[in-house]
């Protein structure tokens, strides 16, 4: 065995411990957040409006001060070692914050300088090429399309070569095509080892992109889970059966399956755990036949992350 075979756990890219934030108004936006983001993962933070996502990101980036708690970025304390910690992170905020009359090149180059990095024209060129902005390097921001402006925001955030990228609602209000393009870009960044934390309202985005999902509601993390495990654990499958003649009343012989009957009695729905050893489907189909119904059609439906999310947020409130 060589040294490289040893699986040494990497320290977290972001570590948040006991974080709280009470705004001057007395409003408690975060109450006791603990979170660890692994290096190289895409972590999606999901939550309804006002849940505290932007507050959390702003604290990690040193824009807002926490009331209590501690945050480190690649081991650097965001309060005691602010400059070093902040250099680890690139932030793409929700709002476009680029000077309209600057060129793309100047905007991105200037941003790098702000982090005390020495100029590196080759890196900036590569970055602009990767983001399909190279042809626009001399264009003024004001002349760019919305999608390109967003890309400039990403180039700006990556200008100082951070290993952690925060995307605060990266695809809010963008069209489907640009959304897919952004996802592609995020994946490419991850392939290069960049750790990505994104906040989103769009469940589809988390479902598509994330390795792990965190759900925040009313200033508290209500769940952190691997996406696949989450969908396996909480996701249910439904079998919808069209029956004839219509079932006006469920016979007691079918009680075991806790079926849902449509109002007109033509469909019966069975909800089950598809991962279970025995789904009970074969017995159900036999029992339906024995009860005098013919099965005219059947389909299955997988509960989505959206169903899971809605039920989580509902049960926490
Ligand atoms: N400066 C402030 N002073 C007082 N309350 C604030 C301040 N900033 C945010 N809040 C409140 O804190 C709560 C969390 O806000 P935050 O912007 O972090 O939520 P969010 O999850 O990012 O929401 P959204 O998805 O709508 O962007 C909200 O109720 C908001 O009104």
CATH of the domain at 257: 3.30.70.100
Q: Do 199 and 282 lie in a common domain?
A: no
Other CB atoms within a 10 A radius of the CB of residue 21 amount to 22
Cα gap 100→79, rounded to integer Å: 32
User: Are 49 and 173 in the same domain?
Assistant: yes
* Averaged pLDDT, groups of 10, the chain, 317 residues long: 58 95 95 95 90 92 93 94 93 78 93 91 92 93 87 92 91 78 86 91 82 92 87 76 95 93 95 79 94 93 70 64
Torsion of CA 155, 156, 162, 164, to 10 degrees: -80
Whether the CB of 53 sits within 6 Å of ligand 1: yes
Q: Using CA atoms, how far apart are residues 314 and 55, in angstroms rounded to an integer?
A: 22
The CA angle 233-179-163, to the nearest 5 degrees, is 75
Using a 6 Å cutoff on CB, does residue 107 contact ligand 1?
no
Q: Are residues 260 and 201 in the same domain?
A: no
Identify whether residues 225 and 252 lie together within a single domain: no
- Domain total in the chain: 2
User: What pLDDT score was predicted for residue 138?
Assistant: 96
The domain of 187 spans 11-232
| CATH number of the structural domain spanning residue 198 | 3.40.50.300
Joined together, the tokens standing for residue 81 give 């070692």
pLDDT on residue 145: 85
**pLDDT for res 303:** 65
53 CA to centre of ligand 1 in angstroms: 8
Q: Residue 59's pLDDT is what? A: 94
What pLDDT shows up at residue 1?
Answer: 45
Crossing angle (nearest 10°) for helices 121-130 and 146-158: 140
Say what the pTM is. 0.77
Are 81 and 119 contained in the same domain? yes
State which of 20, 21, 29 you would mutate to test the pocket of ligand 1, scoring each by most atoms of that ligand within 8 A of its C-beta: 29
Is residue 117, in this structure, part of any structural domain at all? Answer: yes
Q: Interhelix angle for 146-158 vs 104-114, to 10°?
A: 30
Residue 67 lies in a domain: yes
Distance CA 117, CA 123 (A): 12
In this structure, the answer to whether residues 102 and 225 fall within a common structural domain is: yes
Last residue of a domain, one of 216, 232, 248: 232
Is residue 191 located within the same domain as residue 45?
A: yes
* Binding site membership of 27 for ligand 1 (Cβ less than 6 Å): yes
Q: Are residues 289 and 207 in the same domain?
A: no
Query: What DSSP string describes 112-150?
Result: HHHTTPPP-HHHHHHHHHHTT-GGGTTSBGGGS-HHHHH
CB 188 within 8 A of CB 131: no
Whether 176 and 248 share a structural domain = no
* H/E segment holding residue 311: helix 305-316
């Amino acid at each position: 065995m060589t040294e490289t075979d040893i699986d040494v756990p990497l320290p977290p890219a972001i570590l948040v411990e006991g974080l709280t934030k009470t705004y001057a108004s007395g409003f408690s936006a975060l109450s006791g957040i603990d979170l660890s983001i692994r290096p190289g993962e895409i972590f999606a933070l999901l939550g309804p409006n006002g849940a505290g996502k932007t507050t959390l990101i702003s604290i990690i980036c040193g824009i807002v001060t926490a009331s209590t708690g501690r945050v480190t970025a690649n081991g650097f304390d965001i309060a005691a070692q602010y400059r070093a910690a902040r250099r680890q992170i690139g932030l793409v905020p929700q709002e476009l914050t680029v000077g309209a009359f600057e060129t793309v090149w100047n905007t991105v180059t200037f941003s790098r300088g702000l982090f005390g990095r020495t100029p590196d024209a080759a890196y900036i060129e590569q970055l602009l090429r990767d983001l399909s902005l190279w042809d626009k390097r001399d264009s003024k921001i004001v002349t760019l399309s919305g999608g390109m402006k967003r890309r400039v925001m990403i180039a700006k955030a990556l200008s100082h070569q951070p290993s952690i990228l925060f995307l605060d609602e990266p695809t809010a209000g963008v069209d489907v095509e640009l959304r897919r393009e952004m996802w592609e870009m995020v994946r490419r960044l991850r392939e290069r080892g960049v750790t990505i934390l994104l906040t989103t309202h769009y469940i589809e985005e988390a479902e598509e992109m994330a390795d792990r999902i965190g759900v925040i509601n009313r200033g508290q993390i209500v769940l952190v889970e691997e996406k696949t495990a989450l969908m396996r654990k909480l996701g249910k499958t439904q079998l919808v059966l069209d029956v004839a003649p219509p079932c006006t009343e469920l016979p007691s012989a079918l009680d075991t399956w806790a079926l849902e009957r449509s109002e007109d009695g033509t469909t019966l729905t069975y909800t089950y755990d598809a991962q279970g050893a025995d789904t009970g489907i074969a017995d159900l189909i036999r029992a339906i036949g024995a009860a005098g119904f013919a099965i005219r059609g059947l389909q299955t439906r997988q509960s989505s992350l959206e169903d899971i999310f809605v039920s989580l947020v509902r049960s926490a409130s």
